[in-house]
Amino acid sequence: MDPSFILVLITTPSAETSQQIAEALVSRKLAACVNILPGIRSLYTWKGTVQQDNEHLLIVKSRLQLFDALQAVVREIHPYEVPEIIALPVVVGSQSYLDWWQAETTDEP
């Protein structure tokens, strides 16, 4: 299994922001696919106060070598001061899906 496949989790405040980020990442081949999950509720501490917000969650299929470029694009678009942009390794997957994933992402970050 190639350890370069990653899932990147990104929360956003709106459908519009989610769509902008997803389109930018897929069109630049920094992601093979982006799932947009609306309607999540986030509880977190920000500047000493517990906050609750309705957000969207992006699940981004990318590769480790593209993370820095992906993160830069997200930061250009994202309105949060400290956006969540975290990567998790893909441990195993369907080979045919991983082949497609590889083909749909750029080799040049």
CATH number for the domain harbouring residue 85? 3.30.70.120
In a domain, residue 81? The reply is yes
In angstroms, rounded to a whole number, what is the distance separating the alpha carbons of residues 105 and 107? 7
What is the C-alpha end-to-end distance of the chain, expressed in Å?
21
In a domain, residue 89? The reply is yes
State how many domains the chain has. 1
Contact residues for 62 (Cβ-Cβ < 8 A; gap 6+): 5, 6, 7, 8, 25, 30, 31, 32, 70, 87, 105
In a domain, residue 64? The reply is yes
In a domain, residue 109? The reply is no
Percent of the chain with pLDDT over 90: 94
In a domain, residue 60? The reply is yes
Range(s) of the domain holding residue 31: 5-103
Asked whether the beta carbons of 30 and 105 are under 8 A apart, the reply is yes
Encode pLDDT of 46-79 as tens digits.
999 999 999 999 999 999 999 999 999 999 999 9
In a domain, residue 23? The reply is yes
For residue 30, pLDDT beyond 70: yes
Token code pair at residue 69: 């470029």
In a domain, residue 108? The reply is no
Record the pTM.
Answer: 0.93
Encode pLDDT of 32-50 as tens digits.
999 999 999 999 999 999 9
